[in-house]
Amino acid sequence: MNVKSMLLKLVGPVFVVLVFAEPLFATAQWSRKYKTPCTTCHTVFPRLNWYGEQFKWNGYQDPDKDERDGDEQGKTRINDRLVIDQLGNFLGVRLNLEVVSAKDNALVVDGERRWQTNIGRNPWVQLFVAGSIYKNVSIFIENEFEQDGFKFSWYNVTFTNLKSSAVNLEVGNLAPTDFMSYSARLRQLSFGNPVLSVRASDGGGEDSANVRQAQAGIQYYGYKGPMLWFGGVSQGRHPKDPNQFKNYWGGLRFTVTDEIGDSLVGTNVSFMVYRGTDTANTAVEQIENPFTRYLAGFNIRYRENLDIQTMYIHGEDDNWFLESVDRSSTFDGVTVVASYFANQRWFPVVRWDYVSSDEASTIELNNVTGSVSYLLRENMRLGVNVVADLKDREFKNHQFLINIRAMF
């Protein structure tokens, strides 16, 4: 029996018990720990609301308390230097099950392109360990079991409130766009975001990073009132740096806080610059492609129901094709996501993704993605998802998906 089959056999019964138990039974680990519903931190999971973002920035501690609760909440004090949390307060599971998935032009039969359809596919099961070890020191470790293997997706140790909320430090596998108005993480749609996934050199180099992927590095952030600022340095695409260069980023975010507004609380605007160098080695020389990404976005939140996110990215590569003679290239991309949470049950989402480029025609796209989810419970949703390829091309990349997502 392989690891994945064993995992599913172990997780399955627990999943059934937790999902169909009475509502007072907790779901995710922080619901169990704080005895509060998932909607305290999420609109529709995994999308965080304004309170959930503050909870995360504060090292998984209650942001409303003057004194940090990392040494108290749900824990047993052994002595003055040791507190132990309950194991269940750290462990969480996310499941993504594709009931039916289909993609146009993905299957070739007798030289003819056709739809490829899959039934009952399980793209991943995620086990994550997260929470405060003690006051102002927290961890997040996400282990992902996929169809063909296992990987660490995200992991970090965070030191929060070093003197004040203006000084926080993350070390590990990080997302440079994590503090942006749209990060392409904890997203409402099952389909990933192609705009922020554009890699330097079209993915052809040793270190062809994009702005949203997990990157081994260090990130500083601070916040006070409506303003948050952040900056980091990373290895780039690979945990073991394949070249002598590092990648850097920095940004600002302004948020409508409780003191500023009520119905628009959490609404924000953000800016970011990301710089790096991709390389390719030949027998005689190392070819370099310094690249820069400029990002600007805003997020409108209205009464915890309406959620509109927009992100614009401008990319500049000095040597896009990694050739001996530099050939620069630029691209511009836009993502717009709008969702509305109705009656605590229905969750429609629509997203438009667009990329245009002067040289790199392979990355150009124009897609509209739509989804309607029904929440069976706060921690379980059934969704119908469609991607329509609007780009003028011979072969379209339309997609269709019915899936079940759960966390507990």
Residue 94's closest CA among 401, 384, 385, 381?
Answer: 381
> Residue 59: which region, alpha, beta or left (left: phi > 0; alpha: psi -120 to 50)?
left
Structural domains counted in the chain: 1
What is the 3-state secondary structure of the chain? CCHHHHHHHHHHHHHHHHHHCCCCCCCCHHHHHHCCCHHHCECCCCCECHHHHHHHHCCCCCCCCCCCCCCCCCEEEEECCEEEECHHHCEEEEEEEEEEEEEEEEEEECCEEEEEEEEEEEEEEEEEEEEEEECCEEEEEEEEEECCEEEEEEEEEEECCCCCCCCEEEEEEECCCCCCCCCCCCCCCCCCCCCCCCCHHHHCCCCCCCCCCCEEEEEEEEEECCEEEEEEEECCCCCCCCCCCCEEEEEEEEECCCCCCCCCCCCEEEEEEEEEEEEEECCCCEEEEEEEEEEEEEEEEECCCEEEEEEEEEEEECCCCCCCCCCCEEEEEEEEEEEECECCCEEEEEEEEEEEECCCHHHCEEEEEEEEEEEEECCEEEEEEEEEECCCCCCCCCEEEEEEEEEC
Per-residue pLDDT tens over the stretch 227-274: 999 999 999 998 888 999 999 999 999 999 988 878 999 999 999 999
Q: What is the mean pLDDT of the chain?
A: 89
Residue 87 confidence (pLDDT): 85
Cβ contact 38:379 at 8 Å: yes
Mean pLDDT of 300-327: 94
Rounded Cα distance, 232 and 177, in Å? 11
Average pLDDT value for residue range 31-54: 90
Tell which wins on pLDDT, 28 or 30.
30
Distance CA 324, CA 329 (A): 15
Relative to beta strand 247-255, strand 268-281 is antiparallel
* Interval 380-395: pLDDT, tens: 999 999 999 999 888 8
- Over residues 128-165, the pLDDT tens digits come to 899 999 889 999 999 888 877 888 788 999 999 998 99
Q: Give the domain CATH number at 258.
A: 2.40.160.10
What phi and psi, each to the nearest 5 degrees, are found at residue 11? -75, -35
The reported pLDDT for the residue numbered 62 is: 92
Tell me the residue range of the domain where 123 lies. Answer: 3-407
Per-residue model confidence (pLDDT) at position 402: 96
CA dist., res. 322 & res. 315, Å (int) = 16
Backbone φ, ψ for residue 71 (5° rounding) = -100, 5
Tokens of 75: 């824990």
pLDDT at position 343 over 90: no
Q: Name the percent of the chain lying above pLDDT 70.
A: 93
State the pLDDT at residue 27: 52
Which residue, chain included where needed, has tokens 């702005």?
A: 211
Q: What is the pLDDT of residues 106-131, one digit of tens each?
A: 999 998 999 999 999 888 898 889 99
The distance of Cα 197 from the centroid of its chain, to the nearest Å, equals 12
